[in-house]
Structure 1
Amino acid sequence: MRFAFVMAAGLLAGCATPQVAPEPASFGVQLYTVRESMQRNPFAAILDVARLGYDEIEFAGTHGADPALLCRYARGMGLEVAAAHADWRQLKADPAAAIAEAKALCADTLLLAWLPEEERRTLDQWREWTARLSAINTLAKAEGLSLAYHAHDFEFAETNGIRPIDLLFEGLDSDIGFELDTYWLATAGVDPLAFLKANADRVTHLHLKDMAADGSMADVGEGTLPIQAIIAQARTQGVRHFLVERDDAPDPWASLATSLDSLRAMPLQQGE
């Protein structure tokens, strides 16, 4: 009888609702970090990203390689494509070509990567780009692509009393996403965690980049930003892509390795 009771208790325990562990966070690389390696041999660079243990990549140009071949190679290495950055000149002159290249790269999102100063001096210029991006969004959606804007720090500086970032959030179609950068938010004097919470429905991609005590860029986990809390909040609100980037790394590959080690050591649970 005792044996039967123990067996029954064991069976009941086995039927209890299990504690479901949160899905592990996946991390990618913005390939601008290793742009010199990409310029020499993009296929070798993609292979090295996979060997480091990252899960996805974000393209910042094809460096002369065939986009479809880059896509097939990346997927063959087990890497997903988080997005493709597009040059502002191409989006202005030939958005259809930018959309076609992003599709060939297997990206589900096309991103405006940067606006030079001469394109963003006035609010009228910002309004022109807002209208242009909304028109491009219609073309992209027809091809099954999402569109997003990559913000830096200059969008947070007021022009005639208005922050361009506010103009973008208010003026762009609601289904156009935003890619934020932890370092550039902090550089602009904006709390990355607070900004994420205030804009939970618009942020789709996040660049992970730390800030040293002197304000310079640092590898993830080697600086002062609350990266763990930022990621936890972003995951809670549905940010899909977390991409490590460091523009000025003395050794880009060592920087990527250090950042991934730091991320893997963080208890990144949703809802923290």
Structure 2
Amino acid sequence: MSTTPTPAGQTADSRASSQVSVQLYTVREALADDVAGTVARLAALGFASVEPFGPLALSDELASALAEHDIAAPTMHQRFVGSDDDALDALFAAAAARGTRTVIDPFTPPDRWGTREDVEAVAAELAAAAAVAARHGVRVGYHNHAHELQSVLDATTAFEVLAQRLAEVAPEVVLEVDTYWVAVGGQDPVALLQRLGDQVVALHLKDGPATADVLDQVALGRGSLPVAEIVAAAPSALRVIELDDSRGDRFTAVADGLAHLRAEGLA
């Protein structure tokens, strides 16, 4: 893993609020073709923050491109739940070197959410990772999909069971709530955010008809999700624009989504 540092981004008047970011997975094909050019396009839109993912997040190429445009990466997605201490040390050291202070595990499979014991095991692994991350000045978080909300244990969603367990054993672990997948999972994202409170430090904002077909996702403001109400339910959380996929051009959808947030006074 590379350790080239990325300085914290500075927000200019012409840029989006530092509370707004974009998950780079949304424009993964463009990044695969041209990292520097894709970052330049995002900078031109006004993004001061991005959320990298996977091996790209730790690459010198991305670090250099972000530094050139003074773009920060306050959060990143990496799979780490269940990793050994050596792997965790390497990951969190690399994240810290880039100025990323929150490393979020984006997925654990549905078979880990079927019982309270399953969920408590995930919480224990997050807590163990948090202890290693703290040595590097980094915190860890977890990002949901639909299955954590579809699993209901004693009248409580498995995701909320996780949140409750983390509050007991590792309150330093934070949550990034993907509000679209909450809706796909049959829950009200606004009500969920209100219940979770300060554990939520970041939101994935996307829109569409709240179906499991990722091609149905559209730009913010053009679907059925109450974007303004979602943001109001977690006003201090980082607002990360994302589309998993779409029938239209995803770069255009990112631009339109940012324009929608600006028009609504949310960016």
TM more than 0.5? yes
2:250 aligned residue: 252
Greater CA drift, 242-251 or 163-172? 163-172
Which stretches in structure 1 are left out of the alignment for 5+ residues? 1-22
1:169-201 Cα deviation digits (max 9, x unpaired): 122211211001121111122211121122211
Q: In the alignment, is residue 31 of structure 1 matched against residue 16 of structure 2?
A: no
Instruction: State how far apart, in whole Å, the 2-side matches of 1:77 and 1:185 are.
Output: 33
Instruction: State how far apart, in whole Å, the 1-side matches of 2:107 and 2:84 are.
Output: 12
Instruction: State how far apart, in whole Å, the 2-side matches of 1:257 and 1:117 are.
Output: 33
The answer to whether the 8 Å contact 2:206/2:218 transfers is yes
Counterpart of 1:101, as a letter, is A
Counterpart of 1:137, as a letter, is A
The answer to whether the 8 Å contact 2:110/2:148 transfers is no
Q: In the alignment, is residue 243 of structure 1 matched against residue 240 of structure 2?
A: yes
Partner SS state of residue 80, structure 1:
coil
Instruction: State how far apart, in whole Å, the 1-side matches of 2:177 and 2:196 are.
Output: 11
Q: CA RMSD in A?
A: 2.6
1:212 aligned residue: 209
Q: In the alignment, is residue 163 of structure 1 matched against residue 161 of structure 2?
A: no
Q: In the alignment, is residue 42 of structure 1 matched against residue 35 of structure 2?
A: yes
**Would the alpha carbon gap of residues 205 and 83 (structure 1) be closer, same or farther in structure 2, given more than 3 Å must change?**
same
Instruction: State how far apart, in whole Å, the 2-side matches of 1:205 and 1:213 are.
Output: 20
Which of 184, 188, 210 in structure 2 is aligned with 1:187?
Answer: 184
Cα offset for 1:118?
4.7
Q: In the alignment, is residue 263 of structure 1 matched against residue 256 of structure 2?
A: no
**Would the alpha carbon gap of residues 170 and 66 (structure 1) be closer, same or farther in structure 2, given more than 3 Å must change?**
closer
List aligned pairs for 1:92-111, cutoff 5 A.
Answer: 94-111=87-104
Greater CA drift, 178-187 or 83-92? 83-92
1:228-266 Cα deviation digits (max 9, x unpaired): 12223322xx22x11100011231111111111111111
Cα offset for 1:36?
1.4
The answer to whether the 8 Å contact 2:114/2:151 transfers is no
Counterpart of 1:67, as a letter, is S
1:200 aligned residue: 197
**Would the alpha carbon gap of residues 104 and 67 (structure 1) be closer, same or farther in structure 2, given more than 3 Å must change?**
farther
Greater CA drift, 70-79 or 191-200? 70-79
The answer to whether the 8 Å contact 2:58/2:95 transfers is no
**Would the alpha carbon gap of residues 89 and 42 (structure 1) be closer, same or farther in structure 2, given more than 3 Å must change?**
farther
The answer to whether the 8 Å contact 1:70/1:105 transfers is no
List aligned pairs for 1:116-131, cutoff 5 A.
Answer: 116-131=109-124
**Would the alpha carbon gap of residues 203 and 66 (structure 1) be closer, same or farther in structure 2, given more than 3 Å must change?**
closer
The answer to whether the 8 Å contact 1:210/1:219 transfers is yes
1:74 aligned residue: 66
Cα offset for 1:119?
4.5
Cα offset for 1:154?
0.9
The answer to whether the 8 Å contact 1:146/1:176 transfers is yes
Cα offset for 1:217?
2.0
Counterpart of 1:57, as a letter, is V
Counterpart of 1:227, as a letter, is V
Partner SS state of residue 201, structure 2:
strand
Larger Rg: 1
Percent of aligned positions that are identical:
29
The answer to whether the 8 Å contact 1:221/1:262 transfers is yes
Instruction: State how far apart, in whole Å, the 1-side matches of 2:149 and 2:84 are.
Output: 23
Instruction: State how far apart, in whole Å, the 1-side matches of 2:197 and 2:19 are.
Output: 19
The answer to whether the 8 Å contact 1:210/1:217 transfers is yes
Q: In the alignment, is residue 149 of structure 1 matched against residue 146 of structure 2?
A: no
Greater CA drift, 224-233 or 244-253? 224-233
Cα offset for 1:92?
5.5
**Would the alpha carbon gap of residues 213 and 122 (structure 1) be closer, same or farther in structure 2, given more than 3 Å must change?**
closer
**Would the alpha carbon gap of residues 158 and 61 (structure 1) be closer, same or farther in structure 2, given more than 3 Å must change?**
closer
The answer to whether the 8 Å contact 1:210/1:223 transfers is yes
Partner SS state of residue 243, structure 1:
strand
